[in-house]
A = this chain, B = another copy of it.
Amino acid sequence: MIAGMPDSDHPDIRGLHLFAQMSDERFLALMRGSYVQNFPPQVDLITEGDPSDFLHVILSGVVELTSAWNGRETTMATVRPVSTFILAATIKDAPYLMSAKTLERSRIALIPSQDVRNVFDTDSEFARAIVTELAQCYRSVVKAQKDLKLRTSLERLANYLLRQQMLTGEGSQFALQLEKRKLASFLGMTPENLSRAFKGLQPYGVAVNGNQITVTDRDELLQFARPTPLIDDFSI
């Protein structure tokens, strides 16, 4: 078995809203049973349908969450540091609904689900923090579903680009954080269609060069994309 978690990783995890309010004692108890591991790229961390043995916390790298059915596969989300994933399955002691694999070399903390449930049962501050986290997750998925049901793929891409521009600091140029084929799957389309969608946004002032996106006319793009906080604002 792997050694416990190095103390040096504690601050990163402690910084998460989920663990911030917890007593030192309980936090250390959680950390004692946990461990941290470095994974190379393309490693399967979780397979959908498996029992949820560990709450995962990504400390560095990138993790992709996917689901599959009947031979088809889709990217549900990508997770970046520092955040937890598959919290709901841990809490409900239910099977994972998504698979997870590393896209880059990643440092992942694994906290035994049973320990998380134990703390949840005894520490009401922790329970409250979980509520906030889950409410946030829930609302994010509802927004994603609205995005899928109410928008065409061109509109989804346009709004995605605007959100990315926001996240990367409002500059007119920024880099895609995702391989295009993953982005296509995430947005619910094929890679070929994504290629054409980028072309379709040219008239609205979007230029693409590799993974570099330049928004030459933000107003034009905004007018086409019509973003709304009720779909595109991840902070509410």
Contacts and interface: CB of A to CB of B under 8 A. Distances in A.
Interface residues of A, number: 51
Interface string A44-59: 0000110000000000
The dominant DSSP class at the A interface is: helix
Contacts of A120: 128, 131
A150 interface: yes
A189 to B, nearest CB: 10
A89 B141 CA distance: 13
Contacts of A236: 92, 94-95
Interface in A103-124: 120-121, 124
27 contacts: A48-B230, A67-B146, A67-B230, A69-B226, A69-B230, A70-B150, A72-B150, A73-B150, A74-B146, A74-B150, A88-B142, A91-B132, A91-B135, A92-B136, A92-B139, A94-B139, A95-B229, A97-B230, A121-B128, A124-B124, A127-B131, A131-B134, A134-B134, A134-B135, A134-B138, A141-B142, A144-B145
